[in-house]
Chain A
Amino acid sequence: MANEHNALDIINDPKNRVTDAGNAGAGENGNDVGEPGGENKGVSRRNFLKFGGVAAAAATMAGAAGAGFAVGRSDDAYTGYGRTFQGGDQFFNREPFRCDVPVMMEPVGKVVRPEWTEYLFLRLRALVDIIKSGKWTPDMGVEALPGPVGDHYRARPGELEIMLESLQRNVKRAEAWKKGKNKRYALAGAYNMALRLGGMELPGHVQRIPEDPHDEHMRTGKPIPPEDWDYRGIWREKPMEFKSPKHASVLIKRMAHQFGMSLVGITKFDPRFMFKGVMRGMPDKGHYTWGDKVPEHWKSIIIFGVPMNWDGTYAAVGYSTSFDAYFRSRVAASLMERFIRELGYPARAQFPGSNYEIMMSPYVQLAGLGQYSRAGVVMVPELGANFRPAAIVTNIEFEYDKPIDVKMADFCKKCKICAEQCPSGAIPFDDEPQTVVRGFKRWKLNEEKCYQQWASGPTQDGLGCRVCIGVCPYSRKNTWIHAISREMEPRDPTGLVSQGLLAMQKNFFKFHEAEDYRSDWDGGKEASYHNPPWWMRAENFLEIEKDWEYHGME
């Protein structure tokens, strides 16, 4: 009896009464216990979840926006200076895309080795020497131009005139620099020269790093053949033997990352891509005596490199330089040369700006690092066109990398942004590669026109333009949206991803007119694709009057 009375009291006590909110399923989850009369205090669970969910959605949207902006602006997006020794910047997995022959490297005719005169800087230097010696003046005409340089220009009508105009433009560029450009571009010029004359070379084109056999020849007056130079400093009686070619490859690649390089590939040395008549260390760099000899110990070639500074490249022409990447690649080349010789093997560095016996582009492709592009540079998946390599030639037996096909060349067929943006019109507009160059059909850059823009740009030394590299859709930093694009595009057999990306690139991203990039004295606006980074704006730090406008995307 007592228990029943107590139970009824509990049931009838208004404090214990549960209010019914009239919602389906309300009984399962329970509702607030309220005062008699049904007034609820506090927030119901349902309302908390509903309104909390809305607030959470708004916070998520805001968080996504903030995170996206922070990622895009972050310094961590600047891939490519070997931030991790494990090559962590090398985030693109090439294995699914390996092929046997790089795109545009299947011979369509007789493959011919390049002559030394086909290398613009060697040709230019020789031409200037001929003019300085008094042996030839421009008014004598191309027929009287002596030697291999004359043969080169006689075979290519019209190109000598472009080069001669470039030499005159160099003079105007230097005058413009002295008159006032040195103020606007003070920081860009100082940065450039710090790397060039503080890092890469001494005045008079003597190399600081790496050592160059040409400098040794000039210093001693003696010929320095590769059989001497490449073996210098080896103290071991015989080379240390690797456990296998694969072990050798793994070690050398790790050392390349250890030496600060982002990307590295190894391939067999193919003499088809070695210049004829070039051997540094021999008199006149071997132009007139070396011929087509190939050193016996040149068996393998290791290619490695980094990008140029991203923000500077995007602000080409005036705020960009190749030398930050060149300097780093040269340092790694010097270190790798010595490392290999310490193990008892010969090693010879091939390094930028013009210290080569080889053409770099074919080896970069053969080593599976990238693909040839419309603009005449090799693009790599991680860095686009923004990749500046050096190489080491040696006789170590490696497990070689295979080339890749990530459909970059297919994208180039439709894109053409570099051709549209090129201030000198040097990049071809053909949908398909049309020109047969030494046995291979590819897009052929008009290097004389390209150099003309270099000679006219608002830079201190006239060495580079880089607009094509900055505007290339593949030359993007390491943010998630570009990583997704890079991964999806080559894997899509339908081509829809590629078309979608190209449509976005052409319609979302705004570009200048090509002539806007030219110097103001050359009819342009000195525009840049992006505005220069804050640390390159002289007016931010120096007591100068800003009397120019920026014409870049911001």
Chain B
Amino acid sequence: MFPGTTMLNYIFWMVMGALQVLIVMGLVEWLKSRGRKPVWWQVALLYAGFAFLCAVVAGGTTLMGEFETIAGWYFIGVLGLPVVICLAIAVRLFVMKKPTQG
């Protein structure tokens, strides 16, 4: 990925891995700030949705890198839209919905 270097590739992926920790912790804090108790499977589902969206973007840009630009945009649009919709539904269910009085 980084021509002419041997280390940058490893450093890139290490940083990407560290960022995921920050994302999950930020997600937990955001849920708390909304008055929600973070439930592990809800956090996992929201993160999985985000990761899948990143994978869709990466897949589309991979196609663009292969000189299939049109296919890349279609890939992101057609596969990314359902993911965004599912994420929006999940946020609405897990974050926006008022907790039931118990």
Q: Contact residues of A with B, CB < 8 Å?
A: 23-25, 46, 49-54, 56-57, 59-61, 63-74, 77, 314, 476-477, 479-481, 504, 507-510, 530-531, 553-554
Contacts and interface: CB of A to CB of B under 8 A. Distances in A.
Contacts of A77: 65-66
Given A51-B26, A77-B66, A510-B71, A481 B1 contact: no
Nearest to B25: A49
Contacts of A509: 68, 70-71
Nearest to B64: A69
9 contacts: A50-B33, A59-B19, A60-B19, A64-B54, A69-B62, A71-B65, A72-B65, A508-B68, A508-B71
A502 to B, nearest CB: 14
B57 interface: yes
A510 B70 contact: yes
Among A24, A64, A65, A509, residue most surrounded by chain B Cβ atoms (within 10 Å): A64
B39 interface: no
Given A64-B54, A66-B61, A504-B75, A554 B69 contact: yes
Interface of B: 1-2, 12, 16, 19-20, 22-30, 32-33, 35, 50, 53-55, 57-71, 74-75, 78
A61 B61 CA distance: 11
Contacts of A553: 67-70
A49 B65 contact: no
B49 to A, nearest CB: 11
Among B20, B57, B67, B69, residue most surrounded by chain A Cβ atoms (within 10 Å): B67
A69 B61 CA distance: 5
Nearest to B58: A68
A64 B27 CA distance: 19
Contact of B66 (A56, A63, A73): A73
Contacts of A59: 19
A25 B32 contact: yes
B17 to A, nearest CB: 10
Contacts of A510: 70-71
A507 B32 CA distance: 43
Contacts of A52: 22, 26
Interface of B is mostly: helix
Given A72-B61, A509-B68, A63 B16 contact: yes
B75 to A, nearest CB: 6
Given A71-B1, A477-B66, A65 B26 contact: no
Contacts of B67: 314, 530-531, 553-554
Contact of A57 (B23, B62, B69): B23
Nearest to A57: B23
Contacts of B30: 50, 53
B78 to A, nearest CB: 7
A505 B67 CA distance: 15
A57 B24 CA distance: 9
Contacts of A314: 67
B100 to A, nearest CB: 17
Contacts of B25: 49, 53
A23 B62 contact: no
A70 B26 contact: no
A66 B8 CA distance: 14
Given A24-B32, A53-B22, A61-B57, A72 B64 contact: yes
Nearest to B31: A50
B60 A49 contact: no
Contact of B74 (A51, A67, A508, A554): A508
Among A50, A60, A314, residue most surrounded by chain B Cβ atoms (within 10 Å): A60
B23 to A, nearest CB: 5
Contact of B12 (A56, A67, A531, A554): A67
Contacts of B23: 53, 56-57, 60
A344 to B, nearest CB: 44
A121 B40 CA distance: 67
B57 A64 contact: yes
A70 B33 contact: no
B25 to A, nearest CB: 5
A51 B24 CA distance: 12
A24 B35 contact: yes
Among B23, B27, B35, residue most surrounded by chain A Cβ atoms (within 10 Å): B23
Nearest to B75: A508
